[in-house]
Amino acid sequence: MALINENFLKLKAGYLFPEIGRRVRAYKQQNPDKKVISLGIGDVTQPLAPAVVEAMKAASDEMGKIETFHGYDDGGTGYEFLRKAIQHGDFQSRGVEIGLDEIFVSDGAKCDTGNLQEIFGIDNVIAVTDPVYPVYVDTNVMAGRTGDADEKGRYGKIVYMPCTAENNFTPVLPKEKVDIVYLCFPNNPTGTVATKEDLKKWVDFARETKAIILFDAAYEAFITDASIPHSIYEIEGAKEVAIEFRSYSKTAGFTGVRCAYTVVPKELIGYTKDGKAVDVNPIWNRRQSTKFNGVSYITQRAAAAIYTPQGQKQIKDIIAIYMNNAKTICKELAALGYTVYGGVNAPYIWMKTPKGVSSWEFFDKLLNGVQLVGTPGAGFGASGEGYFRLTAFGKPEDVKEALARFAKLKV
């Protein structure tokens, strides 16, 4: 008899995006003549930068010739040309030294953030912000690191750190003992950033309590404020306690190309049950080399092209399109009397729903009233109730039309 992993049965049914899809499909079926505009998607819409496309074409040609063909990427942690570009372009340029053997190239930050928990013991207590990117929680549920979900969808044994307007969407240090802390800045879904002082508090906390921080920096390229750190390693001592995730998905429109990387510093240590210090970097290396065989040569060449002067300019121009959308959304919604957060250093706008209207009620009003789709804040956690997420990833003409419709919405 094949027994299944019953932890999967603890997962809440009707995960956020399938439920949104279901409601949108039902509406379209009943109203086939109406055009629905989505500001709900966490996917990009602009095409790849020309420098990236050229690099992919050139790499394809190389793969077609015996002299320049490439097989497995040795070790599966990324070709050296890409890891060198990362080392210089993302870290040295900000005064941070990261070793080539601390960089692990992968096919996505979703899988990295999801997979990383498996190198840590099952008894670790994890802490997450509420609202949160659901991947951090669900992968720990699957692993058996949590209890069951309550009626609000909060799992036993997880420490939730509420992030609401009252605390400026900034998590406060947990009072209870925690071992692994997930942080995401700039934040999806709230669009909040962490200052150097905010991150220093977390680094100090982790050093004092021997905890590890899993830092998701998937949106660092959207930071416009020069004082905001792009990497947690800009904080002294962070290499002892933090793993950082990066992705080209939003930075360079790679959601359909697939390339990302994770930094696991050599200084980072975990512990055995009897308190012996263990290096984490070789363990992640062992895990990756066993379960993963690397990212395609063509894709890694595409990623390296992002770091060239033309690549940098082109992706910055694309990001500017999205951030201009964000600015317009914030400005016009504020003018309509809505309270909006984020949208300055992140492609997400986190708005308050009108008084007395729940996240899902607001979703239905927008869809049925003016054919707009966004994401109910409650879908990201109990503390997201009363909020609603809009993304800046739409096409500018759709954003314009969406805002005209917002003006017509009656709540």
- Interface residues with ligand PLP (CB under 6 A) are 42, 108-110, 133, 184, 188, 216, 218, 247, 249-250, 255, 260
- Provide the strand spans (E) within 252-313: 260-263, 269-271, 277-279
Structure tokens at 185: 């800045």
Residue 255 or residue 328: which is nearer to ligand PLP going by CB? 255
Q: How far is the CB of 357 from ligand PLP (least distance, A)?
A: 26
Nearer to ligand PLP, 338 or 377 (CB): 377
Residue 263 beta carbon to ligand PLP: minimum distance, rounded to whole angstroms: 14
Instruction: Give the residue with the Cβ less far from ligand PLP, 345 or 371.
Output: 345
Nearest to 165 by CA among 389, 402, 383, 19: 383
Min separation Cβ 273 and ligand PLP, Å: 31
Tracing tokens 């982790």 back to the chain, one arrives at: 206
Tokens at residue 233, please? 């390693």
List, in order, residues 6 or more apart from 34 with CB less than 8 Å away: 27, 28, 371
In sequence order, what are the residues at sequence separation of 6 or more whose Cβ sits closer than 8 angstroms to the Cβ of residue 322?
44, 46, 222, 347, 392, 393
To which H or E segment does residue 349 belong?
strand 348-352
Residue 339 phi/psi, 5-degree rounding, is: -95, 120
* Residue 151 exposure: Cα atoms within 13 Å on the Cβ side: 0
- From 266, 242, 208, select the one nearest 116 (Cα to Cα): 242
Q: State which residue has the least CB distance to ligand PLP.
A: 108
**Type of residue numbered 359:** S
C-alpha to C-alpha distance for 175 and 224, rounded to whole angstroms: 33
CB of 365 to ligand PLP, least distance (A): 26
Cβ closer to ligand PLP: 109 or 329? Answer: 109
CB of 182 to ligand PLP, least distance (A): 10
Q: How far is the CB of 389 from ligand PLP (least distance, A)?
A: 11
**Least distance from ligand PLP to the Cβ atom of residue 34, Å:** 29
Nearer to ligand PLP, 42 or 75 (CB): 42
The residue (of 184 and 403) whose beta carbon lies closer to ligand PLP is 184
The answer to whether 215 and 181 are in contact (CB under 8 A) is no
* Residue nearer to ligand PLP on the CB measure, 188 or 383: 188
What is the rounded CA–CA span in Å between residue 3 and residue 332? 54
